[in-house]
Amino acid sequence: MADLKLPRLNRVFIAGRITQDLELKYTPKGAPVVRFTVAMDKRFKDESDQWQSTPVFVDVVAWNNSAENICKQAHKGTAVLIEGKIDTRSYVDSNNVNRKVFEIIADYIQTLEWKPRAEGEGASDEEPPLPDEAPQPAAHTNDDVPF
C-alpha cells in the first residue's frame, strides 16, 4: 500500500461562554498566558425524539497579546468565538496516575458581545452622528452596460 500523505491540518473553531473570571499569569521568562474554560451546548435527540442539550466544556490557552487582550475585554459569562488548534499534554497527578489533557491553543479570540466603555475612557456610549448629507450614488446609464 502506498504512503498516504495527509495534510497537516489542525484547525478548530468554537463559540461559547467563558466559565470563570480570567487570571493573567506570566511564565518565568515573562510571557503572558491565560487558561480558561468555554462552555457550549451539545444538542441531540433523545429516545422520544425530543431535542435535548447538554453542556460541553473545552479548555483554552491563550498566549502573549491574545492573553492580555482577552483579559481586558472579557470576564465570566462573556460569549466568545475562538479559533485555534488542538493540543495535548500529559502529566502525572498527585495520586501518581498518568493524565492526558486536550486543550485549544487560541490563535484568535473575538468577544461576541458589545461591551460599553467605562466612564472616562474617552468615547461615549452613543453612536456617532450621521453626516448631514449622505453621498449620492453615481448615476448609471444604459451606455455603461457591456452587452
pLDDT in tens, 31-42: 999 999 999 999
**51 Cβ contact list (under 8 Å, min separation 6):** 43, 44, 45
Cα gap 105→12, rounded to integer Å: 10
Enclosing domain of residue 106: 12-45+52-113
Q: pLDDT tens-digit profile of 73-114?
A: 999 999 999 999 999 999 999 999 999 999 999 999 999 986
| Residue 126 located in a structural domain | no
> Above 50 in pLDDT, residue 122?
no
What's the CATH number where 21 sits? 2.40.50.140
Cell of 113: 458581545
* Euclidean distance between CA atoms 16 and 28, whole angstroms: 31
Domain count, the chain: 1
Domain assignment of residue 122, yes or no: no
Q: Please give the single-letter amino acid code of residue 81.
A: L
Rounded to whole angstroms, how far apart are CA atoms 58 and 39? 6
Report the greatest alpha carbon distance in the chain. Answer: 81
| H or E element in which residue 67 lies | helix 64-73
**pTM summary value:** 0.70
In a domain, 118, yes or no: no
DSSP-derived secondary structure for 27-65: -TT--EEEEEEEEEEEEEE-TTS-EEEEEEEEEEEEEHH
C-alpha cell at 110: 473575538
Cβ proximity of 33 and 40 under 8 Å = no
Tell whether 56 is covered by a domain: yes
8 Å CB contact between 19 and 36: yes
Does the pLDDT value for residue 120 go beyond 60?
no
